[in-house]
Amino acid sequence: MHTEFAPLFKLGRAERLQLVEDLWDSIAQEDTQTPVPDWQRDELRRRKDRYLQHPASGRTWEQVKERARVAHD
């Protein structure tokens, strides 16, 4: 924990939650966007095209979570 922020941790729960919400809203309102590199856009297009050609090749969110659980154990 940064000592400069230590007083914030002494706020009540509701005040800390409001602070987090206010910070998040300020980030969302910023005019800048995180740039997406061309290679990443290309990969996303490739994956979308593959899915559209073979929709049954995808997995449900439940399947993904289960696979992650099994891999973790």
pLDDT at 72: 78
Token output for 21: 């919400």
Q: Pick left, alpha or beta for residue 59 (phi over 0 → left; psi -120 to 50 → alpha; otherwise beta).
A: beta
| pLDDT interval class at 1 (50, 70, 90) | low
- Report pTM: 0.45
pLDDT in tens, 2-20: 789 999 999 999 999 999 9
Angle, CA 23 vertex, CA 12 and CA 28 arms, to 5°:
150
pLDDT at 3: 86
Compute CA 44 distance to the chain's CA centroid, rounded to the nearest angstrom. Answer: 16
Token output for 10: 């002494």
pLDDT in tens, 8-60: 999 999 999 999 999 999 988 887 777 889 999 999 999 999 999 998 988 89
